[in-house]
Amino acid sequence: MHQEVSLIATVAVSFVCAAILGYIADRVRLPPLVGYLLAGIAMGPMTPGFVADAGLASQLAEMGVILLMFGVGLHFSTADLLAVRGIAVPGAIARIVVVTLLGVGLVRWWGWGLGAGIVFGLSLSVASTVVLLKALEERNLLNSASGRVAVGWLIVEDLATVLALVLLPAVAELLGGHAASGIAQGAGLPLPVTIALTLLKFGAFAVMAIFLGPKIVPWLLTLVARTGSRELFTLTVLAIALGIAFGSAQIFGVSFALGAFFAGVVMSESNLSHRAAADSLPLQNAFSVLFFVSVGMLFDPSILVRQPMAVISALALIIVGKTIISFLIVVMLRYPIGMALTVSGGLAQIGEFSFILASLGVSLGLLPNDGQDIILASAIISITLNPLVCMGAEALHTQVHGRWPALSNHFGRRRHEALGRELEKIRAINEARERKHQLEMQELIETFPLFANVDEDSQEELLLLFQPKSALPGERVMRKGDRGDGMYFLSSGAVEVQLPGEPIRLDPGAFFGEMALLSGGRRTADVVAVDFCQFFVLERRDFNMFTAKHPVLRQAVSEMARERTEMNVMRQKRDQPSSVDS
Structural domain boundaries in the chain: 3-411, 454-575
Q: List Cα–Cα distances, 331 to 152, 156, 219, 325, in angstroms.
A: 17, 19, 46, 10
What local confidence, expressed as pLDDT, does residue 573 receive? Answer: 63
Could you give the CA distance from residue 513 to residue 491 in angstroms, rounded to a whole number? 15
**Are 64 and 291 within 8 A, CB to CB?**
yes
Report the relative pairing of strands 526-529 and 495-498 from DSSP bridges.
antiparallel
Q: List Cα–Cα distances, 53 to 13, 39, 297, 302, 376, in angstroms.
A: 11, 14, 10, 21, 20
Order the strands of the 533-539 sheet from edge to edge. Answer: 467-471, 533-539, 486-492, 511-512
What local confidence, expressed as pLDDT, does residue 103 receive? Answer: 93
Residues in the chain, how many? 582
The DSSP element (H or E) to which 131 belongs, if any, is helix 129-138
The DSSP element (H or E) to which 477 belongs, if any, is strand 476-478
Angle, vertex CA 245, rays to CA 201 and CA 362, nearest 5:
80
Which residues are registered as beta bridge partners of 529?
A: 495
What local confidence, expressed as pLDDT, does residue 208 receive? Answer: 72
HEC per residue, 371-403: HHHHHHHHHHHHHHHHHHHHHHHHHHHHHHHHH
Which residues, given as ranges, of the chain have pLDDT below 50?
Answer: 1-2, 182-187, 577-582
What local confidence, expressed as pLDDT, does residue 289 receive? Answer: 83
**Are 549 and 530 within 8 A, CB to CB?**
no
- CATH number of the 454-575 domain: 2.60.120.10
Residues 6+ positions from 201 with CB-CB distance below 8 Å: 252, 253, 254
Could you give the CA distance from residue 159 to residue 156 in angstroms, rounded to a whole number? 5
351 phi and psi angles, rounded to 5 deg = -155, -130
Number of Cβ within 10 Å of residue 434's Cβ equals 11
Which string of b and e fits 35-67 if b means at least 16 CB within 10 Å? bbbbbbbbbbeebeeeebbeebbeebbbbbbbb
Measure the CA dihedral 111/116/117/122, to 10°. -160
DSSP 507: -
Q: How is domain 3-411 classified at the architecture level of CATH?
A: Up-down Bundle (1.20)
DSSP 5: G
Indicate the pTM of the whole model. Answer: 0.69
Could you give the CA distance from residue 107 to residue 123 in angstroms, rounded to a whole number? 13
Could you give the CA distance from residue 582 to residue 516 in angstroms, rounded to a whole number? 9
Could you give the CA distance from residue 45 to residue 43 in angstroms, rounded to a whole number? 7
What local confidence, expressed as pLDDT, does residue 1 receive? Answer: 46
Angle, vertex CA 196, rays to CA 193 and CA 198, nearest 5:
110
The DSSP element (H or E) to which 470 belongs, if any, is strand 467-471
